[in-house]
Structure 1
Amino acid sequence: MDPTLPTGVGRPSGWMIVGATGMGLASAYWDDSWHSTLGRDSALIPPHLLLYASIVAVGVILGLWAMRILRDTRSLNALGRAPGFILAAASAAATAIAAPADAFWHSTFGRDAVLWSPPHLLSVISTTVLLGAMLVSVSDRPWRQLQIGLSAVVLAAAQILVMEYDTDVPQFSETLYLPVALLSLLSAGWVIIRMTGFPFALTTAIVAYILLRAALTAGLTGAGWLAPDLPLALLGLAAVDLLQSLPRLRWLVAASIVAALESLLSAIGLSSVQIGSILPWTMAVVGAALVAVFVVGVRNRAVTATIVLLLGLSFALVTPVPASAHDPGQGPSFGTAALSVQGDGSGELTVTVDDFSTTATMPGRAWLVARRAGQTITVPLAAGSVSRSGRATGRISLPHPGLWFVYADVSSSVGTLEVWLPISQNFTGTITQTRALYQPTETREWSPPQYLFALSLVAIGAVLVVWLMVRVRRVPTLGATERPYTSGAPPSLPGR
């Protein structure tokens, strides 16, 4: 292999990766809003098609990258030596595996619509690692704009882990939000700092990502969809760039500032996560930082940050709660029903279900169910039975702010049927919609084979994360314009 031949990803291909990832980001938030407002639908809905297009685009770019290396070097070994290529290819393969794994999961173990199901987690993790590998590939090039673009989408991919919290549809307890968000943020920030090496690279990437999210929010809002919160708390991560003179403390300070900003945003209504779920973790992060630095005596900044976040995450996970915010999956449809909700702005709702159009007979009782962030409230909808053309009315109180999913469940000749609407706790007025009357899928206890399959998927993601960390650690940290070039002939730089 001729060492002067470039084997890293090219600049145009790198920008195509950034663009494809932006498409994927838009599709993820659009898809989340689609399911939160319309429910489960076919595999060919517009946000899914946009996601498929982004995945195909990334696959084509990786294929062209491999073909260029083989054309220029005539060596399969060159693929292994190309910076970041094997890791990117392995991550792409894991992303591809996640799709059939998800289908197998649903068909074997039942529907699981939450983002944190093992197949979905593998997809998110492998996508993030793939983008990290692309950043590795250009780390020895003085392409600052491209490095910023890739860094911004690395942050974007890492933040997908908490997308359901940012879009006000948390499937798990909100106490998990801050430790998971901090862990993903600091990990992504560490990769960016190591792979760029020029001043304020992380800060610039954060600003670029916030602008991307702002454009996404404007687009979704303008089109009438639910939009995510703006990730303004990420600005606290800029402390890593600002506190260069405190190498052992800057990550801990950044984590504390991010947590404090998130608490402030929640307090003033700019974050969907409740302040009561965030504030204890804000104090925990600061306290753990003090313990790590002044008591334990940990000196390495990356290890210190890891200890702080893992302490909080481990404490949150010792008392997990089941995912019970939205339906775990819509089963067969048996017609339609009209659902009307009247709110007074303080969480008191009057719910009416009528105008049934269904082949099922409904001799049984009916009840209301409201769900958010692992909390479920159930009250009777009407006394006695509900006829096919009858009406049932009930009242329910939503205790906490945020978006709730309100269901009318009706006993029928084919089992329980339900119809639902997303309703904000402070909703004022009346809304009436005709929605699908469907049979909810059964939520079952996990079996040993399910645990084993889940563990295997999570293990694949963990291997990819460790692989990326090792690969990043091997890259010199002198800065992109100072590093020895390993992916081809060094370009001429002005003044050199």
Structure 2
Amino acid sequence: MDHDVPTTREIRALPPAAALLTGGLLTLIGLTWDVQWHTDVGPDTFFTLPHLFLYAGSAVSGLASLTAVLMTTAARRAGRPTDPAVGGAPVGVFGRVFTAPLGYLVAGCGAASFLLYGLWDQWWHGLYGFDAVIDSPPHIGLLTSVMATLVGTVVVFAAAVDQRWGRIGAIVSLAVLAAFSTITVVAFETISRPVNAVHVAMAGLMVLIVATGAAFTRFGGVLVAAALAVVQAVSWWFSPWAAEVYADAVGLPLRDYVDGVPVMPALMPMVLIPAALLVHPLLTARARWAPALAGAVAGALVAGLQVVQNSIVYDFPTPAVSRLLPTALAGAVLGLLAGHAGTRLGGALRHAKGFPTDESEAS
């Protein structure tokens, strides 16, 4: 039930949750900017402005998580009730030395992992030089750490499912997570035969996230796809513009072959909204087999049509249907599993704060 007047619970829960999501958005800005920089300008140094956005976003998320954990621990030690709607069910850490809300625990671990991978990345560049690729081992670790932080962010907002801002925040967090997943799957680009592993992996993650949203709240899958489209539209304009402006500011030229196509936004599947609308009735059906079937259909569409999207964006001939079918079929298989798993995850998110107790109902 929504409330017109903010409750004590909302006052406690919203600020740290908003800080956590802000950190994720800052990191997303830095990532789209950095990927475009590597494509349009080239190798860089460790302390560039896009990198500062990346690390500042992770720092904001980490500090927000740490603050929430310390406040929850202090309340527990003082004998005050802890509200599981503030970040999720409380979890004892290090033999209950600390008490951490589930969402902030996951997000904080992701932020800490990001710091460790950042140190590895600095060592990697010192050993091999400053590279211009996204799929180096420390880079993949950095991106996976951010995704872990975003998973925690989703849990934090899902714990406030009774509030409108909680549901909206969970949808936005899922969309940001989907945006990050599009660049993480580049790690599979060396596997291209007989299927395009990048497109199959992307389809699986997209179906997983859309199905999670659909099971979490009404029209959640469609809303996640729509929110991702907004992220894609904004970053489509922002990333090439930011790369060019920053290059001019530091006196570096753009590469001769720059075509103006935004790299990371072009990876985000444009077919996701139609796919989510098409399978929405199945994702919300009561039949146990329906989510899996929905995932198979959506997975086939996303995986099979991604190369068509690329041919339009980058202006090259569209491959024959016979070459698209193996990737579409592999996407359907992975999508089937993702549709089932996503539905289970969405249902679990609705219970992120655990089951009601006398303590958790206190405001």
TM over 0.5: yes
**2:67 aligned with 1:64:** yes
Aligned pairs for 1:337-352 within 5 A:
none
Q: Classify 1:285/1:53 alpha carbon distance in 2 versus 1 (closer, same or farther; 3 Å).
A: same
**Counterpart in the other structure of 2:202:** 181
**2:136 aligned with 1:92:** no
**Relative contact order higher in (CA < 8 Å, ≥ 6 apart):** 2
Partner residue of 1:53 out of 53, 56, 66:
56
Partner residue of 1:150 out of 130, 155, 173:
173
- In the alignment, structure 2 segments of 5+ residues that lack a partner are 1-7, 79-91, 245-259
- Greater mean alpha carbon deviation, residues 24-33 or residues 216-225: 216-225
- What's the CA shift string for 1:234-268, capped at 9, x where partnerless? 2224444332332330110110122344244234x
- Greater mean alpha carbon deviation, residues 67-76 or residues 199-208: 67-76
Contact 2:69–2:99, Cα closer than 8 Å, also in 1: no
Contact 1:131–1:150, Cα closer than 8 Å, also in 2: yes
**2:293 aligned with 1:249:** yes
**Counterpart in the other structure of 2:256:** none
* Cα offset, 1:127, TM superposition: 1.1
- What's the CA shift string for 1:53-74, capped at 9, x where partnerless? 2122112211211122123212
**Separation (CA, whole Å) in 2 of partners of 1:144 and 1:273:** 41
- What's the CA shift string for 1:170-196, capped at 9, x where partnerless? 8886944312322332343354455xx
Aligned Cα root-mean-square deviation (Å): 4.1
**2:236 aligned with 1:217:** yes
- What's the CA shift string for 1:21-54, capped at 9, x where partnerless? 2221121121122222222223232212222221
Q: Classify 1:120/1:211 alpha carbon distance in 2 versus 1 (closer, same or farther; 3 Å).
A: same
Aligned pairs for 1:67-86 within 5 A:
67-74=70-77, 77=96, 79-80=98-99, 82-86=101-105
Computing the radius of gyration from Cα coordinates, the structure with the larger value is 1
Amino acid at match of 1:283: L
Contact 2:66–2:108, Cα closer than 8 Å, also in 1: no
SS of aligned partner of 1:10: helix
**Counterpart in the other structure of 1:382:** none
* Number of matched pairs: 309
**Separation (CA, whole Å) in 2 of partners of 1:284 and 1:186:** 18
* Cα offset, 1:201, TM superposition: 0.8
**Separation (CA, whole Å) in 2 of partners of 1:157 and 1:104:** 24
**Separation (CA, whole Å) in 1 of partners of 2:346 and 2:240:** 42
**Separation (CA, whole Å) in 2 of partners of 1:487 and 1:121:** 43
Q: Classify 1:116/1:238 alpha carbon distance in 2 versus 1 (closer, same or farther; 3 Å).
A: farther
**Separation (CA, whole Å) in 2 of partners of 1:156 and 1:34:** 18
**Separation (CA, whole Å) in 1 of partners of 2:315 and 2:340:** 26
Contact 2:34–2:50, Cα closer than 8 Å, also in 1: yes
Amino acid at match of 2:337: A
**2:183 aligned with 1:160:** yes
**Counterpart in the other structure of 1:284:** 326
Contact 2:204–2:331, Cα closer than 8 Å, also in 1: no
**Separation (CA, whole Å) in 2 of partners of 1:119 and 1:274:** 35
- Greater mean alpha carbon deviation, residues 151-160 or residues 229-238: 229-238
Contact 2:176–2:228, Cα closer than 8 Å, also in 1: yes
* Cα offset, 1:232, TM superposition: 0.9
Partner residue of 2:355 out of 478, 484, 487:
484
* Cα offset, 1:116, TM superposition: 1.6
**Separation (CA, whole Å) in 2 of partners of 1:26 and 1:487:** 42
**Separation (CA, whole Å) in 1 of partners of 2:199 and 2:106:** 29
**Counterpart in the other structure of 2:250:** none
- What's the CA shift string for 1:89-146, capped at 9, x where partnerless? 2222211110111223334466554222111111111211221122223323222111
Indicate the structure with greater strand content.
1
* Cα offset, 1:484, TM superposition: 3.3
Amino acid at match of 1:302: L
SS of aligned partner of 1:39: coil
Contact 2:222–2:277, Cα closer than 8 Å, also in 1: yes
**Separation (CA, whole Å) in 2 of partners of 1:258 and 1:491:** 45
Aligned pairs for 1:312-391 within 5 A:
none
Aligned pairs for 1:391-430 within 5 A:
none
Contact 2:121–2:139, Cα closer than 8 Å, also in 1: yes
Partner residue of 1:42 out of 33, 37, 45:
45
Q: Classify 1:126/1:71 alpha carbon distance in 2 versus 1 (closer, same or farther; 3 Å).
A: same
**Counterpart in the other structure of 2:313:** 270
Identity of aligned residues (%): 20
**2:134 aligned with 1:140:** no
